DNA sequence: TTGTACGCGTTATCAT
DNA sequence: ATGATAACGCGTACAA
């Protein structure tokens, strides 16, 4: 149905080789160029990307693999990636690993078999063996948000340590000492980092740290809800709590509302991600916000360079700053 | 590098035809089957989907085009689509039309040129001429959320009329008469529908409708903020307001918080979308929630049928029910 | 610069 | 049931 390069050649009365060369930006005589252009126009000819892929082993497609699609973090990043790569003619295919390493590996294999030119991945586990195992080093990959062990890869991360540091330090300077933290699983990179930020404040201020105030959730709404209740039911509950991701922040707020705990009078609270929250909740919530669109944009840019063949200072790790937004959910003691 | 079907044939000592047939599920003698399986295993052979696409003119890829990626509505739908189509071996590429009809058309052309097998689209305008113009009828498309004029297409929609009806009716039965509505642009399908639901309640209850209480925003946070302020500054402000999309609901809540308006004592409020809201806001917000994942799932299912060649009752329009979740943000007068 | 011809990895047709 | 072989549409040596 659709016109092929042969039809163009026939109509333009030149060889397919000439047409192909013209199409790929090589030098062609002025007359032939004109004839080809005319033929292309008249036939409404479009290169068949599939046939081209078969020859070149390039698909002009990249894959993005995330633990979950339906959350603002993933989608903001994906939006950033799509927008950036769009200008280069790449399309992006999305993959949901559902926080399952096996599924993640399967998805990687799947997109590799589809000949994607690159992949950006937000790994679901702390080990990255399967990533290089599947992808090899023919097809470039960049990590985002989380670093993994056993895999040398480019990455764009957020400076979680200092983001959390800033937030907790604020609490300290306001006089808080019993500061609870609800963080993620120990095997998740960002969770470890966020916890380290917390710890470092206490070290730097030479204050004792009460391990019982640190609770490990699994980044879900449920555990946020559950763990803040645990903390508040302690004989000596914390005067402030820092919650280290968005979903758990939602859960914590629900629990606080239900229990009728007054913020910030009875408890100072700092949440994570999504500035929207700080705006619609009363009192406005203090939060640590990550530069999501920028993560996507940077990851796309790095991947693009790699796909173009650059090997400059590999592996490269970019760290983006997060911002602490001061709301009215924390109080001076 | 990677093993081809030829290598398998050679190692198994059969013809490529036999291998291909075996791979595609046709009958093959028991002995050959065994030999092929053995060879496949030893060579770690994988079918090359690009070569297959070249032959079959199918890419096992679908595109989803939305006005914006980074919002809960789009991503929930996309997640539903990805999850559903994953089982059939399809991958989904995402496109952001940035609420721009021109860009939407460009994206459609782009994915068509990439030989996607189908596209699901959440149209950004009320006209759909460009959709069929670009896609023709060779490549199936299904609309979601919004219907368009001048394009006969399958669609999966939400019953906005009755969803809004339910919400406004609730306000009526609680004694409200001056009910404000903040809705979307008149040219957007869902906005018109939601407005119709509002209107219908007044008709059915034989009550007079005050047009000045209907305000048209553009589905952004900003206009939600602005318009609710306009309403509340009326000489005779409404006793209740219904906000007809998520972003505007956020804006409205911000305005209400800033102005110190007591909910529900001074104003009853009903929002739209994302149940999360109703959970973390105090008092809990009454909202109309759309079945987002289901929209994606249904759209994917319809598209899949069409891609398989079914033409049953085309164009088919599915309407999903939205739910009204009662919170504590509305009061009996 | 241009044309020819082969190959990329499959599927499908046609004999056998 | 199986084997040989011609497509699918393009890129690219190679020769001219």
The nucleotide lying nearest B21 (C-alpha to C1') is C11
Which residues of chain B are within 8 Å of residue A115 when distances are taken between CB atoms? 49-50
Cβ of A75 within 8 Å of Cβ of B75? The answer is: yes
User: What are the pLDDT digits (tens) for A257-273?
Assistant: 889 999 999 999 999 99
pLDDT value of residue A2: 82
Q: Give the residue, A174 or A309, on which the prediction is more confident.
A: A174
Q: Which secondary-structure segment (H or E) carries B243?
A: strand B240-243
pLDDT value of residue A138: 86
Residue nearest to nucleotide C11 (CA to C1'): B55
Which residues of chain B are within 8 Å of residue A113 when distances are taken between CB atoms? 46-49
Query: CB distance from A59 to chain B under 8 Å?
Result: yes
Q: Beta strands of chain A (E only): which ranges?
A: 61-66, 91-96, 118-121, 141-144, 154-158, 179-183, 214-216, 240-243, 268-272, 286-289, 317-320, 323-325
pLDDT value of residue B137: 87
The proportion of chain B whose per-residue pLDDT surpasses 90, expressed as a percent, equals: 88
- DSSP letter, residue A316: P
Q: Are strands A118-121 and A141-144 parallel, antiparallel or unpaired?
A: parallel
Separation between Cα atoms, residue B141 and residue B155, nearest integer Å: 9
The interface residues of chain B toward chain A in range 260-289, judged by CB-CB distance below 8 A, are: 276-277, 279-282, 284
pLDDT value of residue A168: 97
Domain A57-157+292-321 has CATH 3.40.50.1000: no
Q: What are phi and psi of A95, to 5 degrees?
A: -135, 135
Alpha helix segments (H runs only) across B158-220: 160-173, 189-204
Residue A220 has pLDDT above 70, yes or no: yes
pLDDT value of residue A274: 80
pLDDT value of residue B72: 84
Cβ of A70 within 8 Å of Cβ of B79? The answer is: yes
* Phi-psi label, residue B124: left if phi above 0, alpha if psi -120 to 50, beta otherwise: alpha
pLDDT value of residue B62: 97
Separation between Cα atoms, residue B40 and residue A270, nearest integer Å: 55
- DSSP letter, residue A281: S
Query: Taking a C-beta distance cutoff of 8 angstroms, is the pair B191, B224 a contact?
Result: no
**What are the boundaries of each domain within chain B?**
5-47, 57-157+292-321, 160-289
Residue A101 has pLDDT above 90, yes or no: yes
Mutation test of the interface with chain B: which of A80, A94, A109, choosing the one with the most B Cβ atoms within 10 A? A94
Cβ of residue A54 near strand C, that is under 7 Å?
A: yes
Confidence band (pLDDT; 50, 70, 90) for B280?
confident
Decide whether B57-157+292-321 matches B160-289 in CATH topology: yes
Residue nearest to nucleotide D9 (CA to C1'): A51
pLDDT value of residue A301: 97
Q: Give the residue, A281 or B66, on which the prediction is more confident.
A: B66
User: What are the pLDDT digits (tens) for A129-166?
Assistant: 999 999 988 899 999 999 999 999 999 999 999 999 99
Cβ of B72 within 8 Å of Cβ of A70? The answer is: yes
User: What are the pLDDT digits (tens) for B283-305?
Assistant: 899 999 999 999 999 999 999 99
Cβ of B280 within 8 Å of Cβ of A281? The answer is: yes
Residue A55 has pLDDT above 80, yes or no: yes
Confidence band (pLDDT; 50, 70, 90) for B1?
low
Give mean pLDDT, residues B84-104. Answer: 95
Query: CB distance from A111 to chain B under 8 Å?
Result: yes
Q: Which of A69, A250, A254 faces B82 most closely, judged by CB atoms?
A: A69
Residue B276 has pLDDT above 80, yes or no: no
Residue A1 has pLDDT above 70, yes or no: no
Closest Cα partner for A51 from A86, A25, A16? A16
Which residues of chain A are within 8 Å of residue B111 when distances are taken between CB atoms? 91
Domain B160-289 has CATH 3.40.50.2300: yes
The proportion of chain A whose per-residue pLDDT surpasses 70, expressed as a percent, equals: 100
Q: Is pTM beyond 0.85 here?
A: yes
Chain C positions with any atom < 7 A from a protein CB: 1-5, 7-14
User: What are the pLDDT digits (tens) for B197-224?
Assistant: 999 999 999 999 999 999 999 999 999 9
Separation between Cα atoms, residue A142 and residue A98, nearest integer Å: 19
Do you find a cis peptide bond into B44, omega within 30 degrees of 0? no
Cβ of residue B14 near strand D, that is under 7 Å?
A: yes
Q: Give the residue, A113 or A286, on which the prediction is more confident.
A: A286
B311: Cβ contacts below 8 Å, ≥ 6 apart: none
Cβ of B54 within 8 Å of Cβ of A59? The answer is: no
Query: Taking a C-beta distance cutoff of 8 angstroms, is the pair B81, B116 a contact?
Result: no
pLDDT value of residue A280: 84
Q: Which of A50, A277, A281 faces B59 most closely, judged by CB atoms?
A: A50
Give mean pLDDT, residues B26-32. Answer: 93
């Amino acid at each position: 149905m659709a016109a092929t390069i042969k039809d163009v050649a026939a109509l333009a009365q030149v060889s397919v080789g000439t047409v192909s060369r013209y199409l790929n930006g090589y030098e062609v005589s002025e007359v032939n160029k004109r004839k080809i252009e005319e033929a292309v126009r008249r036939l409404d000819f479009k290169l068949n990307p599939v046939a081209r892929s078969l020859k070149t082993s390039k698909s002009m497609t990249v894959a993005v693999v995330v633990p979950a699609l339906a959350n603002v973090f993933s989608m903001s990043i994906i939006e950033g990636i799509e927008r950036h790569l769009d200008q280069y003619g790449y399309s992006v295919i999305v993959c949901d690993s559902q926080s399952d390493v096996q599924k993640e590996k399967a998805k990687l294999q799947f997109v590799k078999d589809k000949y994607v030119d690159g992949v950006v991945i937000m790994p679901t586990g702390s080990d990255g063996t399967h990533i290089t195992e599947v992808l090899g080093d023919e097809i470039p990959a960049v990590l985002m948000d989380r670093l993994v062990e056993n895999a040398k890869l480019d990455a764009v991360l957020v400076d979680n340590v200092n983001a959390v540091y800033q937030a907790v330090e604020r609490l300290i300077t306001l006089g808080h000492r019993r500061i609870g933290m609800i963080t993620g699983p120990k095997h998740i990179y960002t969770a470890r980092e966020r916890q380290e930020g917390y710890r470092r404040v206490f070290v730097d201020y030479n204050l004792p740290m009460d391990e019982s105030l640190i609770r490990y959730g699994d980044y879900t709404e449920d555990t946020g809800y559950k763990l803040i209740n645990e903390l508040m039911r302690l004989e000596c509950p914390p005067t402030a709590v820092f919650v280290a991701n968005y979903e758990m922040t939602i859960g914590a707020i629900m629990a606080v509302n239900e229990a009728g705990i007054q913020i910030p009078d009875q408890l100072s609270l700092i949440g994570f991600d999504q500035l929207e929250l700080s705006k619609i909740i009363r009192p406005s919530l203090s939060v640590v916000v990550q530069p999501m669109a920028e993560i996507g944009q940077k990851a796309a840019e790095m991947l693009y360079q790699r796909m173009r063949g650059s090997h400059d200072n590999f592996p490269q790790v970019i760290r983006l700053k997060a911002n602490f937004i001061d709301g009215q959910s924390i109080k001076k003691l």
